[in-house]
A = this chain, B = another copy of it.
C-alpha cells in the first residue's frame, strides 16, 4: 500500500503546513489577524482546502493549543533536575510564568479562549487531556512536598488548584491588561513582584 501510505503522508504534510501557517500568523500578528483567509493565503492554498483538512476554525485553534501544551511540557523537562520538591515547585512557577509572558497569545489560547474547549464540546469529548496532563505534573510535585512535610493539613488536589490559580491569575490579569488596576510604586514588573510574594509564602508553609 505504498500509494495509500504516501497519500496519508501528504495529507499529514498539508495538515501540518496549515497549522504552521496559522501558527506564524498567530505569533506574528496576533489571534485577531489569524483568519481562515489569511491562513490559506499564507500557504498559497484556497479557503476550501483549509476546510478539507479541518472541520472549522475551532479545530485549528484546538490543534494550536495542543502544540502550546507540548511546548510548555518541554519547558518543564528541566525541572526533573530539581530533586527537592519545594525547590521544584518554585522553579515550576517560574517556568510557567516565563512561558506565559513570552507566548502571550498562545497562553491566552491555552487557558482563556473559548475555541479549544468549544471544539472539545463539539466532538463530545468530556476530558481536557492537555490541561489535565499539565495539572498532574503540578499535582505530583505538590504531593512530593506534602510527603516531605510541607503544607501540613492541606489536601493535594485543591491545593494544587489554588497554586495553579495564583500563577494563572497573575498571568491572565497581565495578559488581559488588568494589571493597569495596580498602581506600582516600584518599577519592577508586577507579575515578578507578585511571584516574589508567593515565594515568601511558600517559605512559611
Please give the residue numbers on chain A whose beta carbons come within 8 Å of chain B beta carbons, in ascending order.
111-114, 117, 126-128, 130-132, 134-135, 153-155, 157-162, 164-170, 172-173, 176-186, 190, 193-198, 200-201, 204-205
A194 touches B158 (CB 8 A): yes
Q: Which residues of B contact A112 (CB under 8 A)?
A: 112, 172, 176
Shortest CB-to-CB span from A133 to chain B, Å, is 8
B197 touches A162 (CB 8 A): yes
Q: Which residues of B contact A179 (CB under 8 A)?
A: 161
Q: Which residues of B contact A128 (CB under 8 A)?
A: 177-178, 180-181
Mostly, the A contact residues are: helix
Contact of A169 among B134, B135, B159, B166 (CB under 8 A): B166
New contact pairs (18) apart from A135-B182, A161-B194, A164-B173, CB-CB < 8 Å: A114-B177, A117-B178, A117-B180, A128-B177, A132-B180, A132-B183, A157-B183, A157-B184, A157-B185, A158-B193, A161-B179, A161-B193, A165-B165, A165-B166, A165-B169, A165-B194, A168-B173, A204-B205
Sample 5 A-B pairs with CB under 8 A, ordered by A number: A117-B180, A157-B193, A161-B197, A162-B195, A165-B165
Inter-chain CA distance A106–B200, complex, in Å, is 33
Shortest CB-to-CB span from A58 to chain B, Å, is 13
A186 touches B157 (CB 8 A): yes
Inter-chain CA distance A179–B117, complex, in Å, is 11
Contact of A176 among B117, B127, B158, B193 (CB under 8 A): B117
Q: Which residues of B contact A182 (CB under 8 A)?
A: 132, 135, 157, 160-161
Given contacts A132-B183, A205-B204, contact A165 B158 (CB under 8 A): no
Q: Which residues of B contact A157 (CB under 8 A)?
A: 182-186, 193
A131 touches B170 (CB 8 A): no
Given contacts A135-B181, A178-B111, A201-B201, contact A165 B154 (CB under 8 A): no
Q: Which residues of B contact A172 (CB under 8 A)?
A: 112, 165, 168-169, 172
